[in-house]
Each structure stands twice: as structure tokens, then as C-alpha cells.
Amino acid sequence: MSMTLSPPPPRSLPLFPDLRAFLAHAEARGDLARIGAPVSLRHEMTAVQLAALRRQGPILRFDAHDGPTLPVIGNLFGTRDRVAAGLGLLPDQIPAFGELLASLRSPTPPRGMRDAWSRWPMLRAALSARPTILRNAPVQGDGLPGLDALPVQTPWPGDGGPLITWPVVLTRPQGSEDLGDYNLGVYRAQVLGPDRLILRWLAHRGGAAHHRTWMRAGQPMPVAIALGADPALLLAAALPLPETVSELGFSGVLRGQRTELVAARTVPLMVPARAEIVVEGWVHPGETAPEGPFGDHTGYYNAVEPFPVMRVSAITCRRDPLYLSTVTGRPPDEPSVIGEVFNDLALPVIRAQIPEVRDLWLPPAACSYRMAVVRIDKRYPGQARRVMMALWGMLPQFSYTKIVVVVDGDMDIRNWDDIAWALATRMDPARDVMVIDRTPMDYLDFASPLEGLAGKIGLDATTKIGTETARDWGQVMALDPAHAARAEALLAGIMA
């Protein structure tokens, strides 16, 4: 199914060319708090960040921690409103932006000049996707002697050491310098010393794919890590974009202006010109170190495993740089808040492939993608099972969704009471459960019997029709809407 190319929603917020502009916007709105009391980088800062997030609290700036003197920024995307603002949107503009993402996956060509002119906003967005190359950049205004000059948190008591938690890792495949081939990924980075760190990229991620091209060539791989990038670059690195869409380019669409890049000092890579800090270095073939354990988004510590080592060759920074950090743990955490917004962005993409889907919810408490509740317009027997299989096979991130619950259009899928009622009254365990075995799974899921392989279960909690049942189905009880409205009006007068 093809979709008409949609223009991006009009920008209602100012441009945020760097992290500082976003922080200034938040502070002007009373959404940034400066913490002057001493806070330890080991474990205590984690507690403060999570407490603020659970209260829908502001961005935090720690000025008196017990590490190197750089200020630490935390809880940047701790609310849905701030994630939307990082995308350049108001919260109610998120669905329209999801339509743009869907059109990028399956665009249709313009039909004549009039149609082309009607798409000018989209053409302008595409123009913004082309990066601008600078000769001098703020991120190269100063330098740091080593990683020990960074106030890196040790988030959890069982962690294996200091952990860089918001790095935007830039890589490219061996043999290509095309900016469109760059990959931006947010990968965990464990600090081993002043000039060495471990990059934890899983085999299916873009950075690992690039690493394999350099390994086959027997050459060291250049890597750059942007710390404290602007919000558009941060979220573009985390968005589930189509493989053909460059994160560098797409960040220009989010930002509303072209991404500015500058040549790195010691590696053959272009790096974000307005980041707070850039760490440059090399990953040599076969050089690994045991990474972890670290607390993860599942709420458990992951196992110690070998991952590539990056040898740091330079650290450039802005004058008076800021250090951006976050915490990953059992939801709610900052990644789960971002995930809720990305859930809404993904819905138009899903509906383009599975038109009967009316809504989809990835409950944050279930580590977001581990469970999906889907609301459909049901028309024929077996439709719920078809939706389950289509969802598991459509996008890579849904290959890790191990529980899918399908309900009818009259259910509120964000209401656990509705979900429980549908399961209790519309699902028979012997007939309406589909179980499949040995499918891809996040190897951090300790419930899976084998690393990377696990079962999946689909629960059909829809009303059964046609050949799905031999019984007459019950009629759902409902009051006359006029009577319900009259009751509300009476109670409003009594209880005012």
C-alpha cells in the first residue's frame, strides 16, 4: 500500500541548533532546575534523576557533584512534552509527524507540476536533510586531556564501572565516505581508563555492521562519539528510521535546519559541529574487553560479555562544556518515556501495512516493546491471528515483542481494566492462544531458554465470529447515552 507524501507539521517551537538552545528554552518555561547541593556520581545521581522523572519533573543541572567540574545535565527527555519539543513539535502534532515517517517508508511520486508544488513543504524538509560542512566549529573550541576529565556516572550499585549513557556513536562502512552511509547509534560505552572505552553494539545494529566491514578488510575502524548533541540529533539516532533514511540527514528535518558538521581532528569522520564534546578514536580488529555487568532497561543486570575496545585519539569540546547523562533501568525511565512517543510515531507506519489496526500500545511497564496490545476492526474469522503474524514480521523491533494481545474496536487499549475484561470474557485459553517457538529475542531477556531465541504468544481477545465459534455470542450491555449524560449532569450539580 503506497501513501501520499505528507508535508511535515508546521513548527510551533523555536529552532534548537544545539543542546544549550534547548536548555535555555526549557529554563525560560520553568522546566529546568539547577541543583547546587553536592551529589555523588556513584548511584546517588541516579536516584535524583529517577525521582525527578517519576514526578514529571524538570531537566536537572548538577553543578556540585563529586567528579570533574563539568556540569551534568540529566532527565532531558523525562516528559512526553520534552520529547515532542526535541522533535520540534507540540504533543498534539505527533500523529501528523508519524504520517511523515510513514510516507518516507513508502512515498509516491508527484502527479504533475501542481502536485509537486503542493509538496513544497516536504521538498524544503528534504533540502534541510543535506548537512552543511563547516571549517571551524564550536565543538573544537577547546579540548580535554582524557576520559577521566568527564563526570561519568556509575548508575547502579552492581555496575562494572563508569558508564557513558547518552553517546551518539558515529560510524561509516569501510570504503565509503558518503555521509548518507553514516550510522548514528546510541550504544552503551564503558570507561576503562583515560584513553580506552568499550562500545556495546549488538550484532544487528548499524555500528556492528560497519565494524564487520573494517574487520574483513583487516583495518582499524574510525569512530567518533558526540556527547551533548542537539535534541534533533539525539532523537534521530534513537528513532526507528527506515534503513534508507540517513539519521544525519533526518535530524535536519527535525531541527528545521541543516545539520552542521566539521571534520574530526584525528579520524576520517565528519562530526556534529555544535555538540558539547566529541570523543575520537579507533577500534582495532579483534581487540575486545569484557563489558559489564550493567543495569539495563529490563530492571536486571546484564551478563559480562566481550565487546570492541575504542582507543581514544582526541577529545574536543566547546568552551565550558556540558556533560549529558541519563539512567536506564526498570521503567519508568527516560528511554521508556521516549519509547511512548515513538509508539505514537510508529502507528501510521503500522496502519499502512496492516490497515485494520486502529491503535497499538506498547505498555512502558513491559519494557515497551516486549508486549503489544492491538485494537482492530474485526471483519472475518482468523483476522486477529493474521494481525499477530503481520506485526511480528513487519518491523525489526517487533521481532522482540513476545506477547501480543488483540482486542476489538470498543476497547480502550491503554486501560488495563478493559484489557483484563476482554481477556476474561472474549478469550478461551484452548482456542484463542497462538504459541510459536524459537523466534528472535533480545538476549537480555533472561526468561528465554536460549540466548537470542524464545517463544512468542498471541492472545485473541476479540469477539468470535463465523467459524471461530459454534455458540451465539453474548450482547454487550450498555446504557442509553442520553441517560448516561443526564446522570453526569445530575451528579455534577450534587457534587459540585
Q: Which residues are catalytic?
A: 296
Determine contact, residues 63/36, Cβ cutoff 8 Å.
yes
CB 426 within 8 A of CB 480: no
Contacts with 146 (C-beta within 8 Å, 6 or more apart), sequence order: 193, 194, 195, 312, 315
Which among 224, 6, 12, 14 has a CA at the least distance from the CA of 98?
Answer: 6
Judged by DSSP in three states, 206 sits in helix
Nearest Cα residue to 62 out of 77, 86, 41: 41
**Comparing C-alpha atoms, which of 224, 246, 191, 235 is closest to residue 19?**
235
- Residue 402: CB atoms within 10 A of its CB come to 23
* Rounded Cα gap, residues 34 and 24, in angstroms: 12
Least Cα distance to 273 among 140, 176, 79 occurs for 140
Closest CA to 171 of 256, 283, 255: 283
Cis, bond preceding 293 (omega within 30 deg of 0): yes
Exposed (0-12), middle (13-18) or buried (19+): which is 268, by Cβ within 10 Å? exposed
What is the residue whose three cell numbers read 501520499? 4
- Distance from chain centroid for Cα 98: 14
- How far from 465 is each of 117, 155, 469, 473, 477, CA to CA, in Å? 48, 51, 6, 8, 18
Identity of the amino acid at 31: D
Q: What share of the chain is helix, strand, coil (3-state, %, to 5)?
A: 35, 25, 40
Strands 433-440 and 453-461: antiparallel
Q: Residue 416 in contact with residue 365, Cβ under 8 Å?
A: no
439 burial level (CB within 10 Å; 0-12, 13-18, 19+): middle
